Amino acid sequence: MTSPGILPSHQRYLNGVPIPVARKSLRMREKYIIVLVFLTFGMVCFGAFFFLPDLRDRVTVTDIRRQMQMGGEEIFNPGHNAIHLDNHGDLIDVHKIDDKAKIGAKIAEDWARQKAIEELSNKLQMPKEDTLKVKQEIEQEKQKHKEQERVKEMAIEEERKKQALEQVHKEHEGGDGTKGGEPSDPAVKQKRDKVKEMMKHAWDNYKKYAWGENELRPISKKGHSASIFGSSSLGATIIDALDTLYIMGMDQEFKDGRDWVATNFHFEGSTELSVFETNIRFVGGLLAAYALSGDKMFKEKALSVADKLLPAFNTPTGIPYAMINIKTGSTRNWGWASGGSSILSELGSMHLEWDYLSNVTGNGVFAEKVYKIRNFMNEIEKPMGLYPNYINPKTGKWGQHHTAIGALGDSFYEYLLKMWIQSGKTDPVSRKMYDDAVDAIEKNLIKTSPGGLKYIAEYKSGRLEQKLDHLGCFSGGMFALGSQGSSNPQKYVQLGADIAHTCHESYDRSATKLGPEAFRFDDASEAKAVRQNEKYYILRPEVLETHFYMWRFTREQKYRDWAWEAVQALEKHCRTDGGYTGIRDVYQENPQQDDVQQSFFLAETLKYLYLIFSDDSLLPLDKWVFNTEAHPFPINYVFKSNGVPVTVPVSAPVPVAVQAS
């Protein structure tokens, strides 16, 4: 074995094999290789930094945003659909706009659905109290949805009703007796033509001297206005005359009036006027013109007037006040009325107009107002079954116990009957009210004079006043009209004939053959005025109105004869170069004239005269009913819509209901 001292001191062995000793430094060749590697890497980095192309000009952040907005595959595969740039470098989307909108809508829908799911999940984790609240909210939403659907269905139904009513009026235009009625007898035709000439004379002079004013002063040849019209010029004569012009076939005159109403009639301004007179003349006249012609403009104008009258009905009883300021809506009653009362004839003469207005507009508020009055008057206690002329609109208590079929009471009874007629004779309440009122009048007021003249006296606080107003002479026609549907038709036709005879006597016993404003029955005289303030005649129509109905119901020649006597008297005493005037004393051979051509002369007096000398096919009484200003409204009847019979009731306390008959 070798001696340890002979071996090198740094050499080590493992299992007799020497272990190499590691070097502590690199050889020169190795150092060169490492330096060369670092130099090569540095050159590559330097070249990449300075010589590779700049891609920032090729793809912008805006391009990326637009590309992402396109949605779908294009986010991940822009080559799927080509992308083009315009000359300004802006992206041109080749997709259709609606496709992108659909994608956006789909994303929004999914997002909303996800949000709803999250909200529902949150609600399901709510406490019990909150869960009940959520259920209530859900139920409320359901009810709200049902209500919206119900309103939508009602709107559709109302539109259908309006279309049905428009069809009615379309069928009415020029038909159903609104024009024509030429009599076969040449002599009668000649008299009818004379009445038409009188209408033209009255109209032409009004147009020449007072166009747009309420009435005409035919002697002074200027405009005139009574206090009932307030301080405004409302063209009362134009509106009152429209339907008379129409049925007489005066087409150009009707057009002139129609055009004035369309462009110049504005129911506004600070003026106080009569609710009753405004209703029967303006609302009635406009609605009649609509019913005859089918022109919707008239309906809209009537609605604008009625809307302004509504505040008058704001009373505890629903009974309207007599006067209203159409600007402020303030209301009051006549100062002379008993205890601040409303007047029977005024409060009771709204029904025909407002019920019909509700039917043609679909607005039930007007019918509701007049049915409330009707129901109140039906239920109130009536002394001796009679209706006094005064009633307080606040308390519903009667004022002075004064009952009359003439002034202050007249048209209340007329409208009870005509409500029933307007409804197509289907309104039993109004008919019973009328029959009961007539029974009370027969028992308490109808009297026979020593000379055998039948009349209707006035009742005043326990005593009878033996007089009849010219206004009360309408009742003869009312009794004849009411005979249909009564228990004894012949009895009431005869009662009508008796009143017609008495009222004709009031004309025949005067020097002018025109009747006074009121006439009395006592030992000294019968059917004659005694007081000076009762001797005037202001072109009133009531006697001729009764002659018209009696002619239609009896065919007795005397009614046409009496009407022609009135025509001759009007021509002799009331005609002037500028129109027609009233007279101050019917018992004078040459009476003083009052210089006023009343609007109702054109609306009523001349219309009834024209109808008396016309065939019954003109405004037949089974299809038309007249308001107290002689404006005609259609009666309920059956017509066909799309071949299906449909009933359009004219009377209903709610908007018109169109029902299958």
Residue type, 259: D
Cα three-residue angle 79-82-86, rounded to 5 degrees: 130
DSSP per residue over 332-386, as a string? E--TTSGGGPEEHHHHTS-HHHHHHHHHHH--THHHHHHHHHHHHHHHS--GGG-
Q: Provide the pairing of β-strand 402-403 with 659-660.
A: unpaired
Cα–Cα distance measured from residue 298 to residue 117, given in angstroms and rounded to the nearest whole number: 57
Q: Provide the pairing of β-strand 323-325 with 331-332.
A: antiparallel
511 CA to centre of own chain: 48
15 CA to centre of own chain: 127
Compute CA distances 584 → 528, 532, 537, 636, whole Å: 15, 9, 6, 43
DSSP 657: -
Angle between helices 351-361 and 365-379 (to 10 degrees): 150
Q: Which residue, among 406, 353, 352, has the nearest Cα to 543 in the 3D structure?
A: 406
Cα–Cα distance measured from residue 508 to residue 518, given in angstroms and rounded to the nearest whole number: 14
Three-state DSSP state, 235:
coil
Residue type, 93: D
Cα–Cα distance measured from residue 525 to residue 522, given in angstroms and rounded to the nearest whole number: 6
Active site residue 215: no
Q: Is the dihedral of CA 260, 266, 272, 275 positive or negative?
A: positive
CA 63, 69, 73, 77: dihedral to nearest 10 degrees?
10
Residue type, 100: K
Residue type, 233: S
Residue type, 36: L
Phi/psi at 222 (nearest 5 deg)? -155, 175
Query: In sequence order, what are the residues at sequence separation of 6 or more whose Cβ sits closer than 8 angstroms to the Cβ of residue 489?
Result: 483
Residue type, 408: L
Compute CA distances 39 → 27, 35, 46, 334, 604, whole Å: 19, 6, 11, 121, 124
13 CA to centre of own chain: 127
Compute CA distances 298 → 163, 166, 624, whole Å: 17, 13, 18
Element (H, E) at 252: helix 251-264
The residue from 277, 414, 517, 526 that is catalytic is: 517
Q: Phi-psi bin for 321: left (phi > 0), alpha (psi -120 to 50), beta? A: beta
Q: Provide the pairing of β-strand 644-647 with 638-641.
A: antiparallel
Which residues are marked as active site?
517
